[in-house]
Structure 1
Amino acid sequence: MSAQGTPDAAGRTAGESKQTPKGAWTVTFLLFLFMVVNFADKIVVGLAGVPIMTEMKLDAEQFGFLGSSFFFLFSISAIVVGFIVNKVPTRWVLLTLAVIWALAQFPMVGTVSFTTLLICRIVLGAGEGPAFSVAAHAIYKWFPDEKRTLPTAILSQGSAFGVILAVPALNWVIVNHSWHYAFGALGIVGLMWVCAWLTFGKEGPLEDTQVLAATEPKIPYLHLLTSRTFIGCAIATFGAYWALSLGLTWFTPFIVKGLGFSQSQAGFVSVLPWVFGAIVVILTGWISQVMNARGYTTRISRGVLGSVPLIVGGLILATMPHVTGAGLQIALLVVGSGLCGAIYVVCPPMLGEFTPASQRGAVISIYSALYTLSGIIAPSVMGTVIQRAGTMLDGYMTGFTINAVVMVGSGVIGLLLLWPNTEKARLTRGAAAQAAPLKGVVSPT
């Protein structure tokens, strides 16, 4: 029988596995909206940072701690849920996560203490920790490997559009009503997504992880998690997420308190990095898919394509303290931080390239848990630096310089380590070598 007619573990032929099933793009769009809600939830504290600090009389260190608190259970939750989705359909896991997000917002509608706000952010972070990795795992059940980069880019775009769409709307609520109602609005939007997912959300037909778990060869998790590409993805994305977590927590306060813009003006300025980042993400996904189609190795079309923008972005951020003028500083911050988006597009497909499907949910979730640790560190570091600086603007500039060093260093490490094509061959050979002796064993009679 030809390779074209050889059935895979799920009972499909190789030729059939390359087809995108009907409904794949509907689910992709719903998961894009899932990430829109996810990042709207994340940005609201940063957007309302000045009113929150004013009402609760918080200093920079306290607000930095509040920003970091979102990530206290983020990584732990991502790992736990990552192993769960190896066994449980992603449809129900995604639904549960979205319900947690919505319910965590409503306590902020009334009078709230700092402790209550802190606890709700920790709970929200626990619910949102697994979001991207579970959504990516769900999408990969609808698309074969060579077609995954573009849907991953669209999924990643949800982060940018979550900010682009939410910032003007939420800022209007904050300016004209109260920051408390901004949280309530997000809770309602979260419940609306839950209803849409219950109606239209489905499990992808290309992979049945329970069937695959019983039939496909396993690679020890130690080998997967110590592979150079996994390590490179975790470190490179750690640097990118440092910039993202600062953007979520500190960008709007920087615009208002550091550069002197009003809260209304800050609402417009705050979307600029995300607009530029959205362009970077879509271009990266499209370019990567075109390069794959033209025969480039994934070392180039994914590894290099994701790492180089991270290095360039860090070098651009490093120039911020050495220029004058709010407009130029904002432009450098927008471009420098926006270039980070490329790495989010290429890393999940790289991990999926060499990870067995029945283990992929856990591996991508562990990757997510590791890189989002920078979300705990970065906001607190910025708050401490601002608190101890001679002037507030000097503190911000020092914080952004630290960000630049982290980005360049992580980008260089990523450039050196991201070799998914050779990783796949090496790990597959290792799994085959382990299985070979078992085939030669004859049962005693």
Structure 2
Amino acid sequence: MEREPASARLEAREPVLSKPSRKRFLIMALMFVTVVINYLDRSNLSIAAPELFRELDIDSVRAGFVFSAFGWTYALMQIPGGWLVDRVAPRVLYAAALILWSLATVMLGFAGSFVALVALRLVVGALEAPAYPINNRVVTTWFPTRERATAIGFYTSGQFVGLAFLTPVLAWLQARLGWHAVFVSTGLIGVAWGLAWFAIYREPRAFRGVNQAEIEVISKGGGLVDIGNASSRSPEKRTGSTWSDLALVLGRRKLWGVYIGQFAVNSTLWFFLTWFPTYLVKYRGLDFATSGFLASLPFLAAFVGVVSSGVLSDWLFRKGASQGLARKLPIIVGLLISASIVGANYASSIEGVIAFMTIAFFGNGFASITWSLVSGLAPARLLGLTGGVFNLIGNLAAVSTPIVIGYLVDGADFSRAITYIAAMALLGSLSYILLVGKVERMQA
């Protein structure tokens, strides 16, 4: 039997060898888990709040300040955090931030006063500040443009799916072991995951199992696969005028469109992350410990919203829609849907309240692919700084929303607070419609 020439055998194997690997989807999964933990540590206070505030005798105004404490330092540290993201590798920076904020979360389980609660939430906020700029840096490095909204939608869904499925678990844990266990358990999980991130994560060219074909899929599709290498080879680009860079990302109208829009998106989000359980328990008479699943329905809807939004956005882009239309349309529609939260003011039953909350939070999830616009607009060398400013302004809502609600609540009446959240959603939709023009990467 005549033997097949070696050259023919190599040619036959070449298509198999050149098939792109798919390790970027493992990175997507790693980011998803990280976001689940990130948001559990932001929102665990809301689950513990009814029992915790009752035990420590904290009224609604002081409760607003406790809820907002995270946002003060989280917003304040966004620009320094973005600066770090442009200089420190995601593998190191994310692991360090995760472990440190998780240890602070564990300590919350031992807080015994209003001052201690505020102080520790300030620490958690500061240490979580680099998280989403890192996410943006990682997704821009690992994913081509046509897949980026799906990736962002998938990992962003972690902020909702974790709360949807784990809120009943944490409510049960609190009922059995007390509010202290809520903070200790979520904090220890975060410490473990920080160690896992450091062990697993690498940049694309250094990640085990990534072949050259996948590198080409990412880079030819618009992914900045060598951004880390480029930064390390060109220190002069990293040490340019920080003030002029800041002036650039603060001086563009279209960027202000996404900044204001993010403030609006986060206003709804932070209502759900802070006051929502208290609203149900104290103002609507829901037994949270026994009705955790009912309270988790809005979070499930938000998860569906953000995943479907990312898939729809990338589908529109692949079908020939401009990047602006593909990214902005789901965000605008989602913000308009979020405004339906005002219907809860007119619902007479708890089922009606949950229905309006579920629809509104679905809209919030649908609008939550906003980072895809930062990824598409930001100058390549200023991804971290632009993301930091975006997150700074957007997360002023984490500061203002809990406090504003605390003051708007009047006795047993929560209606003015709900109306405020609806108004913010409408403001955000107008911002995207009127201020964000053509979506294309800016030069710096």
Q: TM-score range by the shorter chain?
A: 0.7 to 0.9
> Given the superposition, is the C-alpha separation of residues 294 and 164 from structure 1 closer, same or farther in structure 2, using an over 3 Å criterion?
same
For 2:256 and 2:152, the matched residues in 1 are separated by: 20
- Match for residue 399 of structure 1 among 417, 430, 444: 417
Question: Structure 1 residues 206-215 or 247-256, which shifts more?
Answer: 206-215
For 2:365 and 2:332, the matched residues in 1 are separated by: 10
**Structure 2: unaligned runs, 5 residues or longer:** 1-18, 206-224
- Match for residue 381 of structure 1 among 393, 401, 404: 404
Residue 242 (structure 1) aligned with residue 261 (structure 2): no
For 1:20 and 1:180, the matched residues in 2 are separated by: 48
C-alpha deviation, 1:196, in angstroms: 1.5
For 1:289 and 1:65, the matched residues in 2 are separated by: 39
For 1:190 and 1:220, the matched residues in 2 are separated by: 34
For 2:252 and 2:333, the matched residues in 1 are separated by: 21
Partner of 1:263: 288
Residue 327 (structure 1) aligned with residue 351 (structure 2): yes
Partner of 2:70: 70
Q: TM-score, normalised by structure 2?
A: 0.85
C-alpha deviation, 1:80, in angstroms: 0.5
1:208-257 superposed Cα distances (whole Å, 9 cap, x missing partner):
33515849999955344332321111111111101111111111111111
**Structure 1 contact 20–143 (Cα < 8 Å) conserved:** no
C-alpha deviation, 1:71, in angstroms: 0.8
Question: Structure 1 residues 229-238 or 354-363, which shifts more?
Answer: 354-363
Q: Aligned Cα RMSD in Å?
A: 2.2
For 1:222 and 1:109, the matched residues in 2 are separated by: 41
**Structure 2 contact 246–385 (Cα < 8 Å) conserved:** no
**Structure 1 contact 307–415 (Cα < 8 Å) conserved:** yes
Partner of 1:277: 302
For 2:86 and 2:404, the matched residues in 1 are separated by: 35
Partner of 2:230: 211
Aligned length: 401
1:77-122 superposed Cα distances (whole Å, 9 cap, x missing partner):
2210101111221111101110112110222334622222211111
- Match for residue 350 of structure 1 among 373, 377, 397: 373
1:28-64 superposed Cα distances (whole Å, 9 cap, x missing partner):
2111111100111111111111101111011111111
C-alpha deviation, 1:136, in angstroms: 2.0
For 1:77 and 1:52, the matched residues in 2 are separated by: 28
For 1:50 and 1:113, the matched residues in 2 are separated by: 15
**Structure 1 contact 21–142 (Cα < 8 Å) conserved:** no
SS state at 1:319 partner: helix
Amino acid at match of 1:337: F
SS state at 1:175 partner: helix
C-alpha deviation, 1:334, in angstroms: 1.7
Partner of 2:363: 339
Residue 225 (structure 1) aligned with residue 250 (structure 2): yes
C-alpha deviation, 1:163, in angstroms: 0.7
1:173-214 superposed Cα distances (whole Å, 9 cap, x missing partner):
100111001111011101120221122111234123351584
> Given the superposition, is the C-alpha separation of residues 402 and 341 from structure 1 closer, same or farther in structure 2, using an over 3 Å criterion?
same
Amino acid at match of 1:274: F
**Structure 1 contact 236–414 (Cα < 8 Å) conserved:** yes
Question: Structure 1 residues 411-420 or 357-366, which shifts more?
Answer: 411-420
